[in-house]
Structure 1
Amino acid sequence: MNNFEPEAVTQYPEPLAGSYKPEDCLFLLKPVAADYRSIEDKERLIQQGSLHYSQMIHRESEPSATYTDLFYSMLSAYKSRLAEQVMRLAVEITQRRTGPITLISLARAGTPFGVLLNRALTQHFGLKSNHYSISIIRDRGIDSVALDYLLSKGYSPETFVFIDGWTAKGVITDELKKSIAVYNEANKTNIPAELFVISDIGGTADVAATYDDYAIPSALMNSTVSGLVSRSILNDQVGDTDFHGCVIYDHLREYDLSDWFIDQITAEMSLDRIAPLLEVPREERQLITKGFLSDVMREMQVSDINRIKPGIAEATRVMLRRVPDLLIVQQSGHPDVAHLERLAVEKSITVIERSDMPFGACALIRDVLEMRSTNE
């Protein structure tokens, strides 16, 4: 039952669809004016503590033809596997919820999977499902105005299902649990804080389809497979009654593959092909991940764990959106890391091979403050 009574906000902002069909996804995000920073400038401001990463954004450029070809190659190789894993998550959702489902994907890595799960639940399981994508930001929490909006629309908190694409160190898992606990206490609600993901390489999510680290196709791209929406922004353009912000990358519209990507995976989904249940205990994956992170911090003399991004998906983010320092791959030349090795060549980043690594790849963010101090 939903006993939510909004105290301050009576007129909520309107959702936006990005480049998705409205029945597939509505973003509870506010378009804001873009004050683009270079990736290097953004990294410096983050590391010196002048600005939080959520206060800044860089202008995404169109993917190169070579890189796009790698995306097509990975999609061809893994679309059936991904479809089976989406169906596994759909099964898990049906076993943990009754009645209508309210899918809440965490923008934007979780957004395509929210769209896919919405289609799986409605088309293959005959359930009523609605999908919204909302913001959650490390150290800032989940967008409480977005949660207010959903409750004000009559969605029962017991139907909420939080979706992300992948997780490794568990930063977003922890942020979600803390944020929802605070929200429930303040609003006398009982929203479940479970996180459902496709790939849980660190064993930190509540429900996952796989622990495998592989090149999930959507992780290779940015907004062009995520509705042309940027990652979420929380700066002075976002008021207390606003949704968290975003930038719509209209300049990339001719390169947009968001709907096409969804259709490709949807075509592979079937009740006859569902990924098997996980057999390895989640705690085992957690121990393996913690041990690896400790080793890397010691061996590479890294004092800030936030500079270490394990997993192919997170390493891809570093190579595209941060200032990378080093790329570690489990097996050089493996198709799953071809796009990463390509980016490393383009950015002149050293690549080392580590066969005992429990992930396909791991990237280190450069300590730009130390580099600047050395240069001075």
Structure 2
Amino acid sequence: MKTPLMGSYPEHDCLFLLKKIKPEFHSIEDKERLIQTGQLHYSQMVSQESKPTPEYEKLFHDLTAKYKHKLAEEILNLSCLISNNVKQDVCIVSLVRAGTPIGVLVNKGINNYSQYNSTHYSISIVRDKGIDVNALDYLIFDLKIPPQSIVFIDGWTAKGVITKELKKAIEDYNASRKVNISNTLYVVSDIGGTADYSVTFEDYAIPSALMNSTVSGLISRSVINDQIKKDDFHGCISYEHLAQYDYSNWFVSEISNCFKAVYYKLAAVPDEQQREARNQLTQNYIRLLMNKFSVTDINRIKPGIAEATRVMLRRVPDLLIVNDASNPNTAHLITIANEKGIEICVLPEMPFGACALIKDVD
């Protein structure tokens, strides 16, 4: 029988439904070339991760200190929203990896402040490949978790690629397994107006977006390569060499320690009309950027501070766009751009804090 994987979180905080595989690392440049030439899908490759620089580490600490009360309030608001909607014990299914630390926090929020119990599993979903059906089978048929108690959580959304992937994947899964899991997606920040439920449209530097595995249980993003057999969970690498730099549990404590200063009540959250307006605004501006910078592949455009951070850390960036060069939320992006010699462009009318363009290496 398959068994969940322990990252660096305690078992009651998070279990990963992933299979640990043997590392086969690609450099960031090599990975980009193979993706863009169509030789390999991005999910087939992973890069080695190195420890964050002292400057970057300080930035992470500073932003956590700055936003921990805000994020704690948003997490409890999201927890309350989920409890009100599901109205029973909850199985949180976070999407590896950006959703993982948020899932840990929401799990704590529901368990500590609502009338319901919550469990948390983190599973893989991959653009163009769908969700890990073996992980869902494990939850429903092995652990006997009621399908209607499953709630999907991610950290943020931008263009809505994963939202669409989730909707289609769950629709297909429900049809094939004759079950009725909700394909609803909950996120903290929904800058693109594409999630079903969020607590803000604000594009700010959610601190967990700054780090990779060292704020996500020392687990890589999910991998689907030839080591993954038909009945396996999607794969991952464990970055145990970074254990001394692991802030996964520290980050959770920093945010959850603020819970007691925040009311567990449902504040005003964006409604459907606001979400549609926000979605239209984002889609229109993405088209404008594609025209302005002659980008033909939408996958090369990554709007939002969180996604831009991912590009600057894990991809080969071509251009960093910010709407305010003095915004403290984008200071870390400007630091990385300067370190890597990446051009920075300021567009004050841009409806999100930052956007990164991936270099065309095809």
Describe the SS at the equivalent of 2:284. Answer: helix
Out of 334, 342, 361, which is 2:335 matched to?
Answer: 342
> Which residue type is aligned with residue 236 of structure 1?
D
Aligned with residue 243 of structure 2, among 241, 253, 257: 253
The partner residue of 1:285 within 266, 270, 278 is 278
Distance of 2:144 and 2:15 partners within structure 1 = 16
Q: 1:75 aligns with which of 64, 80, 83?
A: 64
Give the whole-Å Cα distance in 2 for the aligned partners of 1:348 and 1:92. 43
| Percent of residue pairs identical | 54
Deviation track 1:158-203 (CA, whole Å, cap 9, x = no partner) reads 0000000000100000000000000000000000000000000000
Q: Match of 1:272, as an amino acid?
A: Y
2:344 matches 1:354: no
Q: Secondary structure at the match of 1:93?
A: helix
* 1:166 aligns with one of 126, 150, 156: 156
Structure 2 Cα separation of the partners of residues 344 and 232 of structure 1: 26
Matches within 5 A, 1:29-44: 29-44=18-33
What CA deviation, in whole Å up to 9, does each residue of 1:296-320 have, x standing for no partner? 0111000000000000000000000
RMSD: 1.0
Maintained 8 Å contact 1:167/1:202: yes
The residue that corresponds to 2:89 in the other structure is 100
| CA displacement 1:289-343 (0-9 Å, x = unmatched) | 0110010011100000000000000000000000000000010021100100000
CA distance in 1 between counterparts of 2:118 and 2:265 reads 20
Cα deviation digits, residues 4-59 of structure 1 (max 9, x gap): xxxxxxx2x11012000000000000000110000000000000000000000000
TM-score between both structures, scaled by the size of structure 2: 0.97
| 2:292 maps to amino acid | E
Residue 124 of structure 1: how far off its partner (Å): 1.1
Q: Which residue of 2 aligns with 1:374?
A: none
Q: Does 1:191 align with 2:184?
A: no
Partner in structure 2 of residue 178 of structure 1: 168
CA–CA distance in 2 between the matches of 1:168 and 1:74? 21
**Among candidates 231, 235, 238, match of residue 221 of structure 2:** 231
Where structure 2 has 5 or more consecutive residues not aligned to the other structure, the ranges are none
Q: What's the counterpart of residue 263 of structure 2?
A: 272
Shift of 1:235: 0.6
Matches within 5 A, 1:314-333: 314-333=307-326
Corresponding residue for 1:129? 118
Work out the CA distance in 2 between the residues paired with 1:19 and 1:92.
Answer: 28
Residue 57 (1) aligns with residue 57 (2) = no
2:13 is matched with which residue?
Answer: 24
Deviation at 1:273, TM superposition (A): 6.2
Q: TM-score, normalised by structure 1?
A: 0.94
Distance 1:130 1:273 in 2: 19
Bigger drift between 73-82 and 271-280 goes to 271-280
* Residues 92-143 of structure 1: CA deviation (Å, up to 9, x unaligned): 1011112210000000100001100110001111421110000000000000
Pick from 297, 300, 303 the counterpart of residue 304 of structure 1: 297
Cα displacement (A) at 1:282: 0.4
Alignment check: 8 A CA contact 1:209 1:275 kept: no
Equivalent pairs, count: 358
Question: Could you tell me whether the CA contact under 8 Å between 2:200 and 2:270 is conserved in 1?
Answer: no
Contact 2:111 2:117 in 1 (8 A): yes
Give the aligned residue type for 2:179.
T
8 Å CA contact 2:80, 2:264 repeated in 1: no
Q: For the residues of structure 2 that align with 1:148 and 1:294, how far apart are their CA atoms?
A: 39
Residues 84 and 275 in structure 1, CA contact (< 8 A), matched pair in contact too: no
User: SS at the partner of 1:368?
Assistant: coil
Q: Which of 131, 147, 154 is matched with 1:142 structurally?
A: 131
Deviation at 1:285, TM superposition (A): 0.4
Note the C-alpha offset of 1:352.
0.8
CA distance in 1, matches of 2:311, 2:56: 16
- Partners of 1:274 and 1:157 in 2: how far apart? 26
Q: Displacement of 1:278 after TM fit?
A: 2.8
Do 1:103 and 1:160's aligned partners in 2 also have CA atoms closer than 8 Å? yes
d(CA) in 2 for partners of 1:351 and 1:269?
37
User: Which structure 1 segments of 5+ residues have no match?
Assistant: 1-10, 370-376
CA distance in 2, matches of 1:128, 1:321: 36
Q: Give the match's secondary structure for 1:163.
A: strand
Aligned equivalents of 1:342 and 1:207: distance in 2? Answer: 32
Greater mean alpha carbon deviation, residues 60-69 or residues 118-127: 118-127
Distance 1:59 1:274, change over 3 A: farther
| CA distance in structure 1 between the partners assigned to 2:186 and 2:138 by the alignment | 22
Q: 1:108 to 1:197 in 2, by over 3 A?
A: same
CA separation in 1, counterparts of 2:270 and 2:56? 35
